[in-house]
Structures are given as structure tokens and as C-alpha cells.
Amino acid sequence: MTDIRSAVTAERTELAELLAGFTEPDWDKPTLCAGWRVREVVAHITMPYRIAMPRFLAGMVRAGGNFNRYADRQARQDASTLTSAELVDCLQQNVNNPWKPPGGGYEGALSHDVIHGLDITVALGIDRQVPADRLRLILNSMKPRQLKYFGVDLTGVQLQATDLDWTYGAGEPRTGTAQNLLLLVSGRTVPKAHGG
């Protein structure tokens, strides 16, 4: 438990340090999250620290119980009202926050932060490599329901990391770096210039 919590804290700390160095135009650049700029992604990452349960539930009701619809609306609203400095400060103040996604545990929290961090860095062409121990924790905790959530079908495919001792599934081999395979199983399209 200590290892995973430390990994979450380290990931949030590093992401906050990276974002603190962004220029204002950087915050308006598109990410791998379709329709979201950097500011919407960071608003989404920090949402659990800022949105109290009653407000969250009210938002879910307005979204007809659809979490993705709610998350999109909330990220866009928050990105329009919070400054980039406020978003960075929120992340910095919550590097040790014990938030976990429902049913996801701390592995889910780490996955959330790493994947959304990659949504930013890969799209902006920033060569940030997530440490292997974090990638291993996320990939080893991967479940079929996560693939289904992201709309990824790996029937007849075996993923094989080229930089970690990790495989998933059975069938025709598909290789890549652990980082790029994580993006693949998360339903992201990796730009060719950054493929692996």
C-alpha cells in the first residue's frame, strides 16, 4: 500500500512541476482527450479534490447518470472559471490526497493521473517517460472491464511490452513500449511521431 501511495504522490508532484512551467498558450493546446485542451484535462484531474459529493451527485443527475457526460461538462466549466495557476496550485496542494476512483483503489488513482498526464505530454510532444515501476503497477492491475470502459477490443491479440517483462491477452502479438501500450488500452490514438 505504501508503494502505490508513494507512486501516486510522485506522479502528481512531477505533473504539477511540469505544468508549472507551461506558458499560457500551452494551456490551450489540444490533448489526446478528444475536445479537451490542457486546461480541461487538468480541471478533470483535480476535480475529485474540488467537487464535494453533493455537487457531484447533482451534476450526475443533470447529466442523466452518465459519468462521461458529467465529467466533460464539469471539466469545461471549471476550465473556463479557474486560472492555470489555480489548477496547478490545486494539484500541488493535493499530491497526497487519498482520493481513489470508485472500485479502482489506489491503482485506479495512479492510472487516472498517469494516463491523463500522458494525454498532455504525448500530445504536446514532451518526452516524459513514466517510470517503469508506475507503469508496471498500472498494467499489472488492468482488468477486462477497464478495456471495455475504454472501448478497446483485444480479442485475438497479445500485448507485449518491449521495455518491461509484461504481456496481456492471447493471440497475435502486438508490441510496443509499456507507455504506448498503456495509451492503447486506454483507447488513445498515439500520434505517429510518438509511437512505439
Look at residue 165 and tell me whether its pLDDT is greater than 80. Answer: yes
Q: Is 154 contained in some domain?
A: no
| pLDDT for the residue numbered 191 | 61
What are 35-84's pLDDT values in tens digits? 999 999 999 999 999 999 999 999 999 999 999 999 999 999 999 999 99
Q: Is 173 contained in some domain?
A: no
Q: Calculate the CA 131 to chain-centre distance.
A: 15
What are 167-177's pLDDT values in tens digits? 999 999 999 99
Q: What is the mean pLDDT of residues 29-38?
A: 96
Q: Domain tally for the chain? A: 1
The amino acid sitting at 172 is E
Q: Which domain holds residue 54?
A: 2-140
pTM of the model: 0.91
